[in-house]
């Protein structure tokens, strides 16, 4: 087999729309990471009085992966509605999830911002922030439950693909996507280590 034939065969093994599929794989992998972190965060909520520091630590750890996922889904949103033919061919999520998406993003940012504010802002400002944090969490939890259930099968299919030799070769950029996810966790870990110590004793002081 000639070099030219080998080269054409190699390129033929990579889907034409690898950017679209790469975006989907990145979003799926970030979603899986966030599902695991959200489960751990949820475990701390019933015992928040004694697990406040782990609650804040996990919350800070989640922030970069959350922002990365918002960026990846926003990119798909923008490309689809700007008329990119590759994203138009892939199609949008179902209507309910499309309508719910902006609410999930806004509520997520409110929960995160109010949570960080509860740790870092002066004690006098924490009463209103606590109400905002708890209220937005209730709304966020409902919206997120629908969001997760709507994407659960897709996430389960996409998240492992870059970690197996046979499927990672099908779409370019597997290593870059893996490093993006790892970097989000590294940045989150740095933020968590820096901020979590300030949560000590905060719960009892607020109440």
- Encode pLDDT of 77-103 as tens digits: 999 989 999 888 888 878 888 889 899
* pLDDT tens, position by position, 136-148: 999 999 999 999 9
Burial of 159 (0-12, 13-18, 19+ CB in 10 A): buried
Give just the sign of the alpha carbon dihedral 67, 73, 76, 80. negative
Contacts of 78 (CB under 8 A, 6+ apart): none
**Distance, CA of 177 to CA of 48 (rounded, Å):** 34
Q: How many CA atoms, within 13 angstroms, populate the side-chain half-sphere of residue 26?
A: 32
Burial of 196 (0-12, 13-18, 19+ CB in 10 A): buried
Mean pLDDT, the chain, integer: 86
Q: Which residue has the higher pLDDT, 49 or 171?
A: 171
Report which of 54, 81, 27, 50 is spatially closest to residue 203, judged by C-alpha positions: 50
Query: Residue 159 to residues 31, 83, 152, 154, 162: CA-CA distances in angstroms?
Result: 8, 27, 10, 8, 7
For the segment 126-154, the average pLDDT, to the nearest whole number, is 91
For the segment 61-86, the average pLDDT, to the nearest whole number, is 93
Contacts of 193 (CB under 8 A, 6+ apart): 57
Total-model pTM: 0.84
Contacts of 149 (CB under 8 A, 6+ apart): none
pLDDT attached to residue 207: 40
């Amino acid at each position: 087999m000639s070099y030219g034939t080998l080269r054409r065969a190699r390129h033929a093994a990579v889907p034409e729309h690898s950017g679209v599929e790469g975006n989907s794989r990145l979003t799926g992998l970030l979603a899986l990471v966030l599902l695991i972190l959200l489960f751990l965060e949820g475990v701390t909520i019933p015992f928040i009085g004694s697990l406040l520091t782990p609650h804040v630590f996990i919350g800070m750890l989640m922030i970069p992966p959350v922002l990365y996922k918002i960026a990846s889904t926003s990119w798909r949103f923008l490309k689809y509605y700007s008329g990119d033919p590759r994203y138009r061919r892939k199609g949008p999520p179902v209507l309910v999830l499309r309508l719910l998406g902006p609410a999930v993003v806004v509520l997520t940012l409110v929960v995160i911002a109010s949570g960080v504010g509860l740790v870092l802002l002066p004690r006098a400002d924490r009463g209103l922030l606590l109400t905002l944090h708890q209220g937005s969490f209730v709304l966020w939890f409902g919206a997120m439950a629908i969001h997760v259930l709507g994407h659960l099968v897709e996430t389960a299919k996409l998240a492992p693909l870059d970690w197996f030799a046979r499927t990672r070769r099908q779409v370019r950029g597997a290593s870059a996507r893996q490093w993006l996810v790892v970097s989000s966790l590294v940045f989150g870990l740095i933020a968590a280590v820096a901020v979590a110590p300030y949560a000590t004793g905060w719960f009892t002081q607020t109440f």
